[in-house]
Amino acid sequence: MEVLSKDMIRQWILPALTFSAHGRPSVVEPAELVEAILYKLKSGCQWRLLPVKQFFTGASLTWQGVYARFNAWRKDGSWQGVWLKMLRENGGHLDCSSVQLDGSHTPAKNGGEAVGYQGRKKARTTTALFLADNRGQPLACASPQAGNHHDTHQLNALFGEICASLEAANIPVAGLFLNADKAFDTQGFRQECARRDIEANIPRNRRAADWQTDDDTFFDPELYRRRVVVEHANAWLDGFKTLLVRYETSVGNWLAWHWLAFVVIFLRKINQKPTF
């Protein structure tokens, strides 16, 4: 199962990885090592069931060795670094005429950090905020939270993380048109968007304490229809079996898998052959 070709891995991923962090030279070809990690992302197999022999020519690593390198790159920020570097170098492929904010719950089977019982899902879950562009390409993800929290839990701080990621990728946040559903209709979040010069296109929530029938808050229903593309993003992410159900107990590793999935989705888009 080839997720990305070795040439794409060498061109786009390896330059952002810090091999010196391991303290000794790798005994395997780096592109093959990343191939094995991407196989885990796509297939959702357990680490101990990773078919390492099919990836490495000559010398080989155990599954523990592959995991150790994945974890080391998570700790030094390499996986997020790969994604930010890719955005900086390929921002022209994005459509930020509007962006879509959404929350997502994932069942968590092994407990760990940022896990809580979610009554609507009737399961322990982890929730995270995602931002996608106008075509559904995921752009950023905030720190995952326990699933028992509402979407507005620490919303301004988490949205600040998303904005910081965009700015680190040289994507200006000022002037963005942001679509979000009515769960995000809070006075505090609207003020935060205004402070960042972001136009929040959010339908009013009649259950909100500050809702008023004569409110003249800006809302463009035509622009809001573009929010449907966030479902494309969700469908693409669901194609990575490791993301369907959370077995990672480390919230940092769980977030790292998302950065890698963003990378794969984006590379597949920008490398699509034109059709005539």
Cα 191 to Cα 53, 143, 212, 221: the distances in Å are: 54, 21, 17, 21
Q: Is 100 left (phi over 0), alpha (psi -120 to 50) or beta?
A: beta
Residue 21 pLDDT: 47
DSSP state of 142: P
State the Cα–Cα distance between residues 137 and 133, nearest whole angstrom. Answer: 5
Q: Assess whether pLDDT exceeds 80 at residue 216.
A: no
Specify which residues 116 forms β-bridges with: 125
State the Cα–Cα distance between residues 30 and 9, nearest whole angstrom. Answer: 9
Average model confidence (pLDDT) for the chain?
91
Q: What is the mean pLDDT of residues 220-232?
A: 94
The residue extents of the domains of the chain are: 6-76, 95-247
pLDDT in tens, 159-182: 999 999 999 999 999 999 999 999
The CATH class given to the 95-247 domain equals: alpha beta
pLDDT in tens, 183-215: 999 999 999 999 999 999 999 987 765 555 556
Are 130 and 140 a contacting pair, CB within 8 Å? yes
Q: Is the dihedral of CA 199, 201, 204, 209 positive or negative?
A: negative
| Site of tokens 């979000």 | 180
Q: In 3-state terms, what secondary structure has residue 266?
A: helix
Q: What is the mean pLDDT of residues 28-48?
A: 95
Are 34 and 9 a contacting pair, CB within 8 Å? yes
Residue 276 pLDDT: 39
Residue type, 255: L
- Specify the pTM: 0.92
Q: Assess whether pLDDT exceeds 80 at residue 250.
A: yes
Cα 2 to Cα 35, 41, 249, 264: the distances in Å are: 8, 11, 27, 11
pLDDT: which is higher, 124 or 271 = 124
Q: What is the mean pLDDT of residues 65-83?
A: 95
Give residue 150's pLDDT band: very low, low, confident or very high (50, 70, 90): confident
- Of 142, 110, 148, 141, residue with least CA distance to 126: 148
- Find all residues with CB under 8 Å of 124, minimum gap 6, and list them: 107, 108, 109, 111, 115, 116, 117, 118, 147
State the Cα–Cα distance between residues 86 and 65, nearest whole angstrom. Answer: 26
Q: Assess whether pLDDT exceeds 50 at residue 50.
A: yes
Q: Assess whether pLDDT exceeds 80 at residue 20.
A: no
Are 128 and 141 a contacting pair, CB within 8 Å? yes
Q: What is the mean pLDDT of residues 114-120?
A: 91
- Find all residues with CB under 8 Å of 44, minimum gap 6, and list them: 240, 241, 242, 244, 245
Give residue 134's pLDDT band: very low, low, confident or very high (50, 70, 90): very high
Residue 37 pLDDT: 97
Q: Assess whether pLDDT exceeds 90 at residue 152.
A: no
Give residue 34's pLDDT band: very low, low, confident or very high (50, 70, 90): very high
